[in-house]
Amino acid sequence: MLCPYCGYDDSKVLETRDSEDGGAIRRRRECISCQQRFTTFERLEEVLLWVIKKDGSRQRFDARKILNGMLRACEKRPVSYETLEKTAGEIERELRQTAGAREFPTLLIGGKVMERLKAIDEVAYVRFASVYREFKDINTFLREIQDLLTREHKNKQEEEA
C-alpha cells in the first residue's frame, strides 16, 4: 500500500476492523518510512450484472430502476419505502447469488418484482403487471384480476383444509 504522504510502498497494519456497514474492512496503517498514519478500506469487488432488454440490447443492472418501478406501482398505497427498498435489495442479492450468471433477461427480473409485489400489495401488483406485461385492452386487465382472485380463493380453500 503506497503511503499517501511520502509514496513509500510499505506500511504496517496497526488495527483492523469491519466498517460500520460491514461492507468493508477498515485498516489503520503506519508508513515504515515517514511514520505517518493513514486509513485504508478493503472492499469486495462486485461483479457487474447486465440486463438483457426485450430488443436484445444490454445495459448495466440498476436496483434503483426496480425500486422506482415499485414506487410508481405503490403510489398512494399503504406500503412503506423501506419495504420496497428491502425488496429491491433482496432481488439484487438473489440475482448476484445465481451461480455463474451475470446477464439476466428483463422477463426474469420483472417476474421477480411481480412475485414480490403480489405478496406485498395486490393493487400494486396489478398496476406493475399492467405496465410490465403491456396490457393491450381491458379484457387482458380483467383476466389478470380474475386469475388473482382464483389463486386467492384456492389459497383460502387450502388453508381451511
- Residue 134 clears pLDDT 80, i.e. is over it: no
- Residue 105's SS3 state is strand
Q: What is the pLDDT of residue 21?
A: 65
The residue count of the chain comes to: 161
Query: Residue ranges of the domains in the chain?
Result: 11-43, 50-150
Q: Are 87 and 115 in contact (CB under 8 A)?
A: no
Per-residue pLDDT tens over the stretch 86-132: 999 999 989 988 877 899 999 899 999 999 998 999 899 888 888 87
- What does the block give as the cell for 68? 422506482
The residue to which cell 403491456 is assigned: 134
- What does the block give as the cell for 140? 387482458
The sign of the CA dihedral 78, 80, 85, 91 is negative
What is the reported pTM? 0.63
Cα 43 to Cα 22, 23, 140: the distances in Å are 10, 7, 47
Q: Residue 80: in which H helix or E strand, if any?
A: none
According to DSSP, residue 41 is labeled E
The residue to which cell 421477480 is assigned: 112
